[in-house]
């Protein structure tokens, strides 16, 4: 195992990383403002925008926190759990089996469901 690099990190960078790690509400609010602006620029309604973003995180094999956030956004925008599964099925040929199998349990957890035995 390699040791972390010893670099000088300024105080502002340390504070920003700490705030991001803790989910600072001010930073999250700023992110929501940017999200709203991007959604407006996309020309998509909030539901479609959320579903497209969900497809992107599935394709990227995003971390679990991304699913929690994006599934909540999609549900808030009017998407149903059936819509979320529909997105997964629609993109399955493009993302492949391994990413589909990785995304399904993330959706389950984000929806508050228990994983099947063996997971």
pLDDT in tens, 37-82: 888 888 999 999 999 999 999 999 999 988 998 999 999 999 999 9
Residues 6+ apart with CB under 8 A from 87: 51, 54, 55, 58
DSSP states along 46-65: HHHHHHHHHHHHHHHT--HH
Q: Where are the domains of the chain?
A: 8-43, 44-119
Q: Hunting for tokens 């009017």 — which residue is that?
A: 78
Q: Residue 31: pLDDT above 80?
A: no
């Amino acid at each position: 195992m390699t040791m972390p690099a010893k670099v000088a990190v300024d105080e502002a960078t340390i504070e920003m990383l700490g705030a991001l790690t803790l989910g600072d509400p001010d930073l999250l609010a700023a992110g929501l403002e940017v999200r709203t602006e991007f959604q407006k620029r996309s020309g998509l309604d909030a539901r479609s925008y959320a579903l497209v973003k969900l497809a992107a995180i599935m394709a990227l094999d995003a971390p679990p926190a991304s699913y929690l956030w994006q599934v909540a956004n999609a549900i808030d925008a009017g998407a149903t759990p059936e819509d979320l599964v529909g997105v997964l099925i629609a993109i399955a040929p493009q993302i492949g089996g391994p990413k589909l199998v990785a995304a399904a349990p993330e959706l389950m957890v984000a929806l508050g469901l228990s994983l099947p035995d063996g997971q």
